[in-house]
Amino acid sequence: MNIIETEVLVVGGGPVGLSLAGDIGWRGRRAVLLEQGDGRIGQAKMDGVGIRTMEFCRRWGIVKDVESSAYNRRYPQDNVYLTTLDGYELGRQPMPSMADDQAPPESPQKRERCPQNMFDPILQRFAASQPGVELRYGHRLLSFRQDADGVTSEVQDLGTDQVREYRSKYLVGCDGGRSTVRERLGIGMQGKGVLTHTTNVIFRCADFNGLHDKAPGYRYMFVGESGVWATIVAINGNDQWRMSIIGNATERHNYTDDQLKQFAYRAVGKPFDMELLSVLRWTRIEQVADSYRRGRVFICGDACHLTSPTGGLGMNTGIGDAVDLSWKLAGCLEGWGGEALLASYEIERRPVAHRITRFSTSNLEVMQKVPHTAMVFADGPEGDAARAAVGKGLGDGLRKEWFSKNMHLGNRYMDSPVIVYNELETPEQVEREFLDAVNYRPTTRPGCRAPHAWLAEGVSTLDLFGKGFVLMAASHRRDDAARIAQAAHEAGVPLAVYEMNEEGVLTAYQEPLVLVRPDGHVAWRAQTLAAYPLALMRGVCGR
């Protein structure tokens, strides 16, 4: 039996696995992706591509593909709180359509609406276009064993039942919340556990917004006497809608098609013509894996963290995991990365998982615990007061969900063995910024995302980053930059030097010497180079 050899074996072909395989290939390395399904999406589990993920899409050259997806970019993105669509509107958070939205000053990109059934094919094409990447659908991982030099895996071709061996330097499980790889590694998960048993329904209704007198919305949130019980989301901005019956943590339901239609009629306030397209029964969980790695085997994405979708951070965090891990695997495959570089993956990304899961659950709790809902259907002043209180409670409480820029751009890596910390900061300051979901403050403090600044029309500092390290150096530090470049050459580390002359760049980067990693995070900064530039370059590579 011939052994199939590759450098990285990626298990799982969702958006995280596709991003990891594609990014590895984009870096010039080889990867094989295994997916037991056929790659088609039965029901979109996500529809929001976050601003940081869009920055990665910019790096990969697929922004135009996302922007030209089938989602109706003219459709308004308002979030609406109401009793029923023919009843009381309790509040509304106006949001622009994707066509009208603008990138914020802190990024060259903006968040996008691109459901998984549209986004996954874009990532598939990106990954498949990389010369070193193979996508193998209809293949299941049966087992794996690792040794000092690599990982040997048994893989079944589900079309032929043939079992073959794959040999890789590394294996990464991107195989979801029920990860086979995580289970085989014996890695446990901790957290609040089950939050709700929820049912999602995709239905088609050509003139849904013609059924009521409310202004169009992206997400309608329905409030009953016992609280928020369902949402309906414009899943393609045209004729398809996703209804989520939120449920609770103790009861599982297997609703009939007729019962599901009755829920939709309840939300609208009357029966209407609808076509059920798909039903997904799922469990909302808050958990984070105890570890992200055993030796040469890693886990990534939902295999590491399960979170409520109230915040839109699950897939986006998983893609962040993939980008963090990809360049580190590539560095070790190329010989300039050391063991500490691999160890830094869990150290950097696991706190991010804790951050986003807690934030997402807090958004769910706002929906679950909004007060005064018992009186929302009452007439007169008492009902008016209750409706105003519920609308304000949801609007104020969920504002951080709609405007969570710092959750996407403000993930700072602390305690990493491959980042040089030379700042005088109090633990309270770090914790305060870590917990702030909304207010992103661009900075070049070590561990932070390197800031965006325009170099020329349409060209961002972020466009400099990706393949190797980049030293951002002011012109009066040319000698220091030359010493660092020489040290990188001696260490075999890929490094480019960019001389900062633009006023906006010098202001954004704060210090005259800023070393940016391939993932776009700051590894080190200083006003002047101290001794031992070779030790600096070896250190940020984990050697």
pLDDT of residue 14: 97
Q: Which two tokens stand for residue 45?
A: 């589990």
Distance between CA atoms of 309 and 369, rounded to whole angstroms? Answer: 17
pLDDT-based confidence at residue 1 (cuts at 50, 70, 90):
low
Q: Is the pLDDT of residue 12 over 90?
A: yes
Tell me the sheet residues that pair with 198. Answer: 282
Q: Are the CB atoms for 8 and 329 separated by under 8 Å?
A: yes
Selection from 269, 260, 222 nearest residue 367 by Cα: 222
H helices of 129-226, where?
180-185
Distance between CA atoms of 37 and 472, rounded to whole angstroms? Answer: 44
pLDDT of residue 531: 77
Q: Which two tokens stand for residue 170?
A: 């590394």
Q: Are the CB atoms for 222 and 82 separated by under 8 Å?
A: yes
| Buried/exposed code over 213-240 (b: 16+ C-beta within 10 A; e: otherwise) | ebebbbbbbbbbeebbbbbbbbbbbeeb
pLDDT of residue 43: 86
With a CB cutoff of 8 Å and minimum separation 6, the contacts of 478 are 499
Q: Are the CB atoms for 115 and 236 separated by under 8 Å?
A: yes
Q: Where are the beta strands (DSSP E) in 447-517?
A: 454-456, 459-460, 469-474, 495-500, 513-516
Q: Are the CB atoms for 75 and 234 separated by under 8 Å?
A: yes
**Residue 89, phi-psi category: left (phi > 0), alpha (psi -120 to 50), beta (remainder):** beta
What is the distance, to the nearest Å, from the Cα of residue 143 to the centroid of all Cα atoms in its chain?
28
Cβ neighbours around 190 below 10 Å, total: 11
pLDDT of residue 42: 82
CATH H superfamily, domain 4-70+112-189+290-352: FAD/NAD(P)-binding domain (3.50.50.60)
Q: Is the pLDDT of residue 21 over 90?
A: yes
Domain assignments of the chain as residue spans, ordered by start: 4-70+112-189+290-352, 421-540
**pLDDT, tens only, 221-271:** 999 988 999 999 999 999 999 999 999 999 999 999 999 999 999 999 999
pLDDT of residue 435: 87
What is the distance, to the nearest Å, from the Cα of residue 200 to the centroid of all Cα atoms in its chain?
21
The radius of gyration of the chain from alpha carbons, rounded to an integer in Å, stands at 24
Residue 204, phi then psi, degrees to nearest 5: -110, 130
Distance between CA atoms of 19 and 170, rounded to whole angstroms? Answer: 16
With a CB cutoff of 8 Å and minimum separation 6, the contacts of 436 are 406, 410
What is the distance, to the nearest Å, from the Cα of residue 270 to the centroid of all Cα atoms in its chain?
37
Q: What is the mean pLDDT of residues 151-175?
A: 98
What is the residue-averaged pLDDT of the chain? Answer: 96
Q: Are the CB atoms for 385 and 353 separated by under 8 Å?
A: no
pLDDT of residue 44: 87
H or E element that contains 288: strand 275-289
CATH for 421-540 is 3.40.30.120
Specify the pTM: 0.97
Q: What is the mean pLDDT of residues 457-485?
A: 98
Distance between CA atoms of 352 and 322, rounded to whole angstroms? Answer: 13
**pLDDT, tens only, 98-142:** 999 999 999 999 999 999 999 999 999 999 999 999 999 999 999
Distance between CA atoms of 33 and 136, rounded to whole angstroms? Answer: 6
| Buried/exposed code over 425-449 (b: 16+ C-beta within 10 A; e: otherwise) | eeeeeeeebbebbeebebbbbbbbb
User: Which has more confidence, 531 or 237?
Assistant: 237
H helices of 90-179, where?
116-128
Residue 114, phi then psi, degrees to nearest 5: -150, 95
